[in-house]
Amino acid sequence: MPQVVDLTKALIAAESVTPARGQVFDVLAQALSVIGFEIDRFIVGEEPDGPVENMIALRPGAGPHLAFAGHLDVVPPGEGWTSGAFEPEVRGELLHGRGAVDMKGAIAAFAAAAARVEGPTLSLLITGDEEGPAIYGTRAIIDRLAERGLNPNLCVVGEPTSDQRLGDTIKIGRRGSVNIWIDVPGKQGHVAYPQLADNPIPKLVAALAAIDGLVLDTGNDWFQPSNIEVTDVTVGNQATNVIPAKASARLSIRFNDEQRGEDLVELIERTVALHAPDAQVIARISGEAFLTEPGPLSALVGGAIQAVVGITPALSTTGGTSDARFLSQLCPTVEFGLVNATMHKTDEAVAVADLEMLVDIYAEVIGRAASF
């Protein structure tokens, strides 16, 4: 079993933009099999969102089943890296490379912790599609767990949740997200003859004004208020003397655990229909909100962090969606990982010292999970 820095480097070097499969999974499977994990790799889905590779690595032990969840896919590197995005390099105190913090470093840290600590039943649930549409990723892993009769008792997702320093933030929930497209049809015509045309713009504007006036909720102890943002308005009319045939808008709603995606879509449909009865509304719910109320699991992870770095983490529900939205349906789930400052950016980098401390924290989590 390689050291955490070497394993992180090997994972970064195996280029794995979403959807990931193949070599990067070979590297991890190799490292885990030498420390007693049985490896179950499976490929699901078709073009364009797949095929996606997923892996369940399982090491039976005594007591509860602790699952560690993560993803080996990364976002595209973009331009302007100081060294190659897939050529990991330690410069000064930092290890650079795409995926260093999101989240190959955390996966390597958990593997290194598992090499150090025997204990409860451990699994690593690793997908190659978290950054993408996530259709063939963690959902497929959950199906596979069910087929195999495996039921984790607690789950830690290794997303980069730390803010200023390692250990300062655990995520116990995330808001849900839905994107909505609104198309209002009209009838094209000459502006000099409006009686022969039907302008869709006033209808769309009225609908958007009504939507902008909606108050969904006022938030609660763990979440900020749910929020609707109008993110685009398009007419695309080049002419000064033409009434356009169509006007479109796009909305993005981030919502807390007081809302359900489907209900929000219905609310928008009703509101639009009042002002633009012929409008077409298309919605894509990318995830429901989830919350693991503060309790034994957040206390366990918080205690492990306290023991290693001496700080008490904040319990947060901010940020975008993550695969914890699926896993939290199985068992109590929290997210804890590296400092997120450089995630998805050029020159993504992790402090080598943080990687080593994260191994210590995950080892504490594994040890404490035995008595969960």
Residues with active-site annotation:
73, 130
DSSP 216-241: -----SS-PPPEEEEEEEE-----SS
Q: How far is the CB of 103 from Zn ion (least distance, A)?
A: 5
Q: Does 323 bind Zn ion (CB under 5 A)?
A: no
The CB-of-369 to Zn ion minimum distance in angstroms stands at 22
- Distance separating alpha carbons of residues 55 and 48, to the nearest angstrom: 20
Task: State which of residues 18, 37, 56, 102 lies at the interface with Zn ion (CB under 5 A).
Answer: 102
Kindly state the DSSP code that residue 5 receives in the 8-state scheme: H
Scanning 19-27, 32-40, 99-107, 145-153 for contacts with Zn ion by CB under 5 A, the matching segment is: 99-107
- Could you tell me the smallest distance in angstroms from the CB atom of residue 281 to Zn ion? 31
Is residue 72 a contact point for Zn ion (CB under 5 A)?
no
Nearer to Zn ion, 228 or 358 (CB): 358
Interface stretch with Zn ion, choices 81-89, 97-105, 260-268, 349-357 (CB under 5 A):
97-105
Segment near Zn ion (CB under 5 A), from 53-61, 98-106, 183-191, 309-317? 98-106
Query: Rule CB under 5 A: which of 260-279 touch Zn ion?
Result: none
Using the minimum distance from each CB to Zn ion, give the nearer residue, 74 or 180.
Answer: 74
> Which two structure tokens, joined as six digits, stand for 265?
């879509």
Shorter beta-carbon distance to Zn ion: residue 116 or 139: 139
Helices (H), the chain: 4-13, 23-33, 105-116, 138-147, 200-212, 261-275, 296-309, 324-327, 352-369
144-163 residues in contact with Zn ion (CB under 5 A) are 159
- CA 182, 186, 188, 191 torsion-angle sign: negative
Q: Is the Cβ of residue 7 or residue 103 nearer to Zn ion in the bound state?
A: 103
Q: Contact, 184 vs 279, CB < 8 A? A: yes
Nearer to Zn ion, 159 or 257 (CB): 159
Relative orientation angle of helices 23-33 and 105-116, to the nearest 10 degrees: 20
CA gap 44, 135 in Å, rounded: 10
Structure tokens at 257: 């655990």
Q: How far is the CB of 134 from Zn ion (least distance, A)?
A: 11
Pairing label, strands 65-71, 189-190: unpaired
Closest CB 205 distance from Zn ion, rounded Å:
38
Residues within window 159-198 making contact with Zn ion, judged by CB under 5 A:
159
Instruction: Give me the amino acid identity at 278.
Output: D
* Distance, first Cα to last Cα, the chain: 27
Question: Do the strands 173-174 and 242-243 form a parallel or antiparallel pair, or are they unpaired?
Answer: unpaired
Which of 250, 248, 252 is closest to 234 using CA atoms? 248
User: Least Å distance between CB 321 and Zn ion?
Assistant: 10
- Residue 103 binds Zn ion, judged by CB under 5 A: yes
Judged by CB under 5 A, which stretch of 101-109, 188-196, 290-298, 334-342 contacts Zn ion? 101-109
* CB 323, min distance to Zn ion, A: 8
Q: Between 73 and 288, whose beta carbon lies closer to Zn ion?
A: 73
* Min separation Cβ 94 and Zn ion, Å: 19
Q: Give CA–CA dist 48/148, Å, rounded.
A: 28
Nearest residue by C-beta to Zn ion?
102
Q: Phi/psi of residue 300, each to 5°?
A: -65, -50
Closer residue to Zn ion (CB): 65 or 71: 71
63: number of Cβ within 10 Å: 13
Query: What whole-number distance in Å separates Cα of residue 140 and Cα of residue 54?
Result: 8
Residue (103 or 125) nearer to Zn ion, CB: 103
Residues in binding contact with Zn ion, number by CB under 5 A: 3
**Is 314 strand, coil or helix?**
strand
* DSSP class of 103: I
> Which residues form the interface with Zn ion (CB under 5 A)?
102-103, 159
